[in-house]
């Protein structure tokens, strides 16, 4: 029987290539008319905005066996990224394996496999399913008391900066998206306020004229534990970029490699120039006024919530099949891929962590393919790996970020490579 891949973004394309090269029958379903996933600018599910660029450099982002063109900038924009993904799919012959303009409506357990019901009314059984639909689709909206009479929107719906023209704008959130939107707003709005809750570390895009992240990806025989790396690198960043608290931002309470850092030096420059005013978290809305936790009140025309996303799999009837229990923000999976049950469900691309890139996602899908092949040709290795899955799923994810899906990219890639080798 065939395997199904859900989604034709970077992780979905990686899964198609891994399965195709392993000789496993595979096909994908994509709800849009073209590949790209989040990078399909203008699509209903895309969170990409006009000014979006990679926050990791092209060399650390690209698939290992398909580099981005040398004449491209170090941090390509979304249009170039989309073209790259199209070229990747064409180069490896993946496009014919994708059924476009079709969404998955339901996925239910059927004997030893899974029954998929599609938006066109079709039904088909599969040996297994790789879920690669992404996790930047369902906006996380904070519950704020009161009513706001101006325009209230989530970053998911933000596309171009013309909506800020002449307005007093409040941006809420301090992730990379929030920082990008603050910079966009400064050039068009009459006044920009920025509400932040916790602190974060800031990393420059360039050092000595070269992408700052490339040095972390040079081959190394040994890697330092992330805690020790953080102790060494945090003082250097505070010297090069400056302590965030000098710009009025909260001091980060987490270590550098425990959460995705901010890769945006422009927002600090604008803070230093007084182009943006910092505010505390929102306490309540009162008509066109926003009241903050310190009692300060501002009249605002537009509130833009860059407050992240919920992880959802609306097509899956029983979330327990992915080891999703209680009020957890995400399923608890071994290597962010495998549930403890050997049920034919796998997840690709469900992770956070600067530096993983698409090469890391390809290692995920190579591992899935290697496991499926081992079940046929090396059952002892597959069974030993299943024991590792069960033990890994039982471990706590409390230290892996808000969603429990953050990974240390250096160690994570090595863990994936070691797992692949163990199944050969």
CA distance 207 to 262: 15
pLDDT at residue 355 in the model? 83
Q: What is the pTM of this model?
A: 0.95
Q: Do the beta carbons of residue 156 and residue 310 sit within 8 Å?
A: no
Q: Domain spanning 141-305 has what CATH number?
A: 3.50.50.60
Using CA atoms, how far residue 7 sits from 31, 45, 48, 180, 422, in Å, is 7, 12, 17, 26, 28
Would 3-138+309-422 and 141-305 be classified into the same CATH topology?
yes
pLDDT at residue 334 in the model? 96
Q: Which residues of the chain have pLDDT under 50?
A: none
The 10s digit of each residue's pLDDT in 237-250 is 999 999 999 999 99
pLDDT at residue 401 in the model? 59
pLDDT at residue 400 in the model? 59
In words, the CATH class of domain 3-138+309-422 is: alpha beta
With the C-alpha atoms ordered 42, 45, 50, 54, is the resulting torsion angle positive or negative? Answer: negative
Tokens 């978290």 label which residue? Answer: 281
The 10s digit of each residue's pLDDT in 126-164 is 999 999 999 888 999 999 999 999 999 999 999 999 999
CA distance 147 to 112: 51
pLDDT at residue 32 in the model? 96
pLDDT at residue 326 in the model? 74
Q: Do the beta carbons of residue 151 and residue 302 sit within 8 Å?
A: yes
pLDDT at residue 136 in the model? 87
The 10s digit of each residue's pLDDT in 168-215 is 999 999 999 999 999 999 999 999 999 999 999 999 999 999 999 888
Give the strands of the sheet with 302-305, arranged side by side. Answer: 151-154, 302-305, 168-172, 191-195, 277-279
- Quick check: helix, strand or coil at residue 134? coil
pLDDT at residue 58 in the model? 96
With the C-alpha atoms ordered 318, 324, 325, 326, is the resulting torsion angle positive or negative? Answer: negative
Domain ranges across the chain? 3-138+309-422, 141-305
CA distance 319 to 324: 6
């Amino acid at each position: 029987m065939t395997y199904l891949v859900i989604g034709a973004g970077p992780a979905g394309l990686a899964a198609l290539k891994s399965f195709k090269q392993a000789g496993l029958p595979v096909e994908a379903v994509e709800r849009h008319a073209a590949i790209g996933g989040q990078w399909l600018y203008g699509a209903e599910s895309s969170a990409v905005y006009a000014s979006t660029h990679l926050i990791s450099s092209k060399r650390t982002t690209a698939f290992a066996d398909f580099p981005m063109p040398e004449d491209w900038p170090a941090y390509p924009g979304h249009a170039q990224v989309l073209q790259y993904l199209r070229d990747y799919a064409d180069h490896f012959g993946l496009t014919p394996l994708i059924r476009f303009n079709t969404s998955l409506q339901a996925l239910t357990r059927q004997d030893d496999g899974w029954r998929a019901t599609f938006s066109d009314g079709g039904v088909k059984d599969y040996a297994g399913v790789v879920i690669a639909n992404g996790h930047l689709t369902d906006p996380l909206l904070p519950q704020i008391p009161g009513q706001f009479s101006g325009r209230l929107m989530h970053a998911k719906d933000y596309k171009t900066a013309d909506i800020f023209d002449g307005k007093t704008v409040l941006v809420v959130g301090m992730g990379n998206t929030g920082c990008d939107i603050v910079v966009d707003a400064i050039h068009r709005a009459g006044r920009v306020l920025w509400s932040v809750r916790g602190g974060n570390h800031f990393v420059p895009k360039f050092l000595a004229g070269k992408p700052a992240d490339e040095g972390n990806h040079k081959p190394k025989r040994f890697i330092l534990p992330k805690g020790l790396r953080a102790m060494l690198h945090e003082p250097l960043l505070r010297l090069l970029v400056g302590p965030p608290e000098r710009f009025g931002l909260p001091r980060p309470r987490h270590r550098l490699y425990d959460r995705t850092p901010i890769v945006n030096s422009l927002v600090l420059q604008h803070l230093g120039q007084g182009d943006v005013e910092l505010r505390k978290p929102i306490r309540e809305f009162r008509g066109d006024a926003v009241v903050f936790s310190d009692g300060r009140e501002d009249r605002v025309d537009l509130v833009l919530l860059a407050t992240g996303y919920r992880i959802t799999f609306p097509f899956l009837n029983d979330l327990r099949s992915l080891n999703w229990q209680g009020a957890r923000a995400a399923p608890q999976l071994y290597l962010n891929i495998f549930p403890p049950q050997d049920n034919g469900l796998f997840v690709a691309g469900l992770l956070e962590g600067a530096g993983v890139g698409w090469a890391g996602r390809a290692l995920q899908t190579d591992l899935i393919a290697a496991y499926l092949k081992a079940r046929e040709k090396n059952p002892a290795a597959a069974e030993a790996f299943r024991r590792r899955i069960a033990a890994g799923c039982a471990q706590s994810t409390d230290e892996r970020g808000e969603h429990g899906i953050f990974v240390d990219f250096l160690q994570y890639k090595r863990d994936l490579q070691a797992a692949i080798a163990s199944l050969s």
